[in-house]
Structure 1
């Protein structure tokens, strides 16, 4: 075989991509990457979709935390068909280390718990770097109210970490443009619609507060989360507060053993809720878990919310 010329070698050298290292902010930490991860794990369906939409499946050794609570739809099944689910629920430290992972994309209450065995600090000695979901940072310190920028921030940071920054930037710009076009054309009411997010729980409802992604999506669709002043992300409130604030529409988050239909039936059959405007007028919008949490389906979910808010 004829040896390549020095000129060709020089061209090859010039054309070869280089990664000079990058530092990203992850909650209250700065995390430096000397090279893009090659053996990543993502936890939860929405975080896994962020990896997939950036074309990073070939940089992953698996995912965790999906089948224990949720079901993969056809789109997600196709995306992860070549990847193993390493843990049905939150992974242990041994699961992550045993997979020879070098990166864990998770969040607080999205695969990690404050004071738990899997944290950035406990994984660091094993060479596993962690990037934390922006929405979840409220669990370990103060942050700004949730906005769509939280989701964009995660995609852009993943782009930097994995050296696909141009792809991440283009994707985020397309989401921003799509949302701006939609907001400019959708017909909204003169005043924001009062909306309550019902995730789960019968004795006391688990809902989205000021720092949870549905608050930002509801506002983009022309509504206001009645729990906007609740200084939490996803947390439990009492039914008395819901009745008192009288939502005009209730968003049902669909996942787990209790179906969206069963959640609606519970609300409609309980006499304590009979005077709630949304229940009285049968106004519900169902969002799948993957739509209600930060990820690539958020723009589509905003359009779904707006269609339910302003049907005419």
Structure 2
């Protein structure tokens, strides 16, 4: 994936702006650009951020892919996220501040003097931890939520399929920062790559696939509201839990055994290596007889390829290549 040139995009956020046919854009007397963009179905007025804070790789990657590094103050990266040095945007991460490896919290955001926080609902934003869009609104700090995570967000539900949600986020962030052309370019490129994968998916009955996120007593897996569900489907597989109208969710090992997956995708966390999960599957008497385990059919999906972000496209292409070479 090619790293975009960032500096040339800054001019798009400056200068006089007129009303746009696709939404309200005005310029205040101070020259600040203002635009109204939906946030989980709620119209929100944004001014162009200069000190954005991103939570997790998916948030930062969206900003970096749009060429917005100069508008990013820093990032919060919990231990589950693999090292940023492995990112396609490693050089961009190096240009901004690493703020914390803790969960997102209000004090951190205030101390950073952030003017925008980008995160997901229940993945960054949280009622329990006291950092929600409403609370930040009251503090005068703007917020942007991943559209994919709006499935769980109370009050303004917006249900968009995961890959479409990624494209929606890029378009909305493009409007917030005034880089609509760059966003349109990216979305067109990503749509082409997805369509190429779908056209080349293996013929025949889709292979049953189980995504193993984490958990030993009961496994966490992907329902139909998160990117891996479509990664599996578009590549030519069938998520054995696609019938669950949920995001990341807990199931039983009995249900996994009954589904008899022929392939297991292992989500590779920074603090929960894939090999540890494979070792568990092979040693547990419950899972050691699964067709995928017996046949050693594992595919390791990077954490940032599984959460909403540009690397979903890389994850799709990698898994599609794996399925095309799989002997059944």
TM-score, normalised by the number of residues in structure 2: 0.85
Give the C-alpha shift of residue 212 in structure 1.
Answer: 1.1
The answer on whether the counterparts of 1:254 and 1:289 sit within 8 Å (CA) in structure 2 is yes
The answer on whether the counterparts of 1:71 and 1:255 sit within 8 Å (CA) in structure 2 is no
Aligned to 1:304: 318
1:150 aligns with one of 152, 165, 172: 165
Any gaps of 5 or more consecutive residues in structure 1? 1-14
Aligned to 1:94: 107
SS state of the match for residue 201, structure 1? coil
Q: Does 1:162 align with 2:177?
A: yes
Give the C-alpha shift of residue 196 in structure 1.
Answer: 0.7
Q: Does 1:178 align with 2:190?
A: no
Q: Does 1:46 align with 2:61?
A: no
Aligned to 2:244: 230
**Cα deviation code 1:48-99 (max 9, x no counterpart):** 1111111111111111134465322333432211211222122221111121
CA distance in 2, matches of 1:30, 1:310: 43
The answer on whether the counterparts of 2:197 and 2:234 sit within 8 Å (CA) in structure 1 is no
Aligned to 2:39: 26
Alignment of 1:53-68 (within 5 A): 53-67=65-79
Aligned to 2:116: 103
CA distance in 1, matches of 2:250, 2:79: 23
The answer on whether the counterparts of 1:114 and 1:140 sit within 8 Å (CA) in structure 2 is no
The answer on whether the counterparts of 1:196 and 1:225 sit within 8 Å (CA) in structure 2 is yes
2:256 aligns with one of 209, 225, 242: 242
Give the C-alpha shift of residue 27 in structure 1.
Answer: 1.2
The answer on whether the counterparts of 2:266 and 2:301 sit within 8 Å (CA) in structure 1 is yes
Would the alpha carbon gap of residues 39 and 187 (structure 1) be closer, same or farther in structure 2, given more than 3 Å must change? closer
Give the C-alpha shift of residue 143 in structure 1.
Answer: 4.5
The answer on whether the counterparts of 1:65 and 1:111 sit within 8 Å (CA) in structure 2 is no
Aligned to 1:202: 216
Aligned to 2:227: 213
CA distance in 1, matches of 2:171, 2:76: 22
The answer on whether the counterparts of 2:49 and 2:177 sit within 8 Å (CA) in structure 1 is yes
**Cα deviation code 1:161-183 (max 9, x no counterpart):** 00001100111001111222232
SS state of the match for residue 300, structure 1? helix
Aligned to 1:287: 301
Give the C-alpha shift of residue 187 in structure 1.
Answer: 4.4
Q: Does 1:72 align with 2:84?
A: yes
The farther-off stretch of 275-284 and 145-154 is 145-154
CA distance in 2, matches of 1:66, 1:169: 30
Task: Tell which structure's C-alpha radius of gyration is larger.
Answer: 1
Would the alpha carbon gap of residues 43 and 308 (structure 1) be closer, same or farther in structure 2, given more than 3 Å must change? same
**Cα deviation code 1:81-120 (max 9, x no counterpart):** 1211222122221111121111111111221123431101
CA distance in 1, matches of 2:80, 2:273: 15
CA distance in 1, matches of 2:168, 2:224: 18
Q: Does 1:124 align with 2:137?
A: yes
SS state of the match for residue 104, structure 1? strand
Aligned to 1:9: none
Aligned to 1:85: 98
CA distance in 2, matches of 1:187, 1:126: 48
The answer on whether the counterparts of 2:84 and 2:93 sit within 8 Å (CA) in structure 1 is no
Aligned to 2:10: none
The farther-off stretch of 150-159 and 78-87 is 78-87
Paired residues, number: 296
Any gaps of 5 or more consecutive residues in structure 2? 1-13, 18-24, 27-33
SS state of the match for residue 84, structure 2? coil
